Amino acid sequence: MTPMLIDRRADGTTVLILIGRLDAETCTELERQLDQVLADRPKAVAFDLKRVEYISSAGVRLILKARNYMAKLGRRVVAANASAQVKRVFAAVQNLAVDQLFDNDAELDAYLALLQQDDGDATIQPG
């Protein structure tokens, strides 16, 4: 199974749909794919976590890598659809890995639409 699907949108954002386990075993391939995505310098990166079964420190590190790179460009990394387990992991690291964590696709899409209108400075509070 492909651990990540990539949705490059016409508005310049890239949605990364992560699948399965994000651990030391899967993150090597994911990092290779992420590096290719970041090389394109997207306007924003959104991680869809709906299909993530488990996340370890390696998975958090991968998302943090994206956030650090995008921050240098003055751009955002957000996530949506995290399970309760993944939310607990993000809470433990104080959400350092993403700028905002949304509960569902509707919140994420509303944020991404605002992001395109506000030159990257949109803020929507998760539900």
DSSP code string of 71-86: HHTT-EEEEE---HHH
pTM for the model: 0.77
Query: Is the pLDDT assigned to residue 95 strictly greater than 70?
Result: no
Tell me the β-bridge partners of 15: 7, 46
Domain boundaries, the chain: 4-117
Regarding predicted confidence, which is higher, 127 or 29? 29
Regarding predicted confidence, which is higher, 96 or 56? 56
For the chain, what is the radius of gyration of the CA atoms?
Answer: 13
Contact in structure between 103 and 111 (CB atoms under 8 Å): no
**What CA–CA distances, in Å, run from 75 to 43, 50, 68, 72?**
6, 23, 10, 7
**CATH fold for the domain made of 4-117:** Transcription Regulator spoIIAA (3.30.750)
| pLDDT in the model for residue 57 | 84
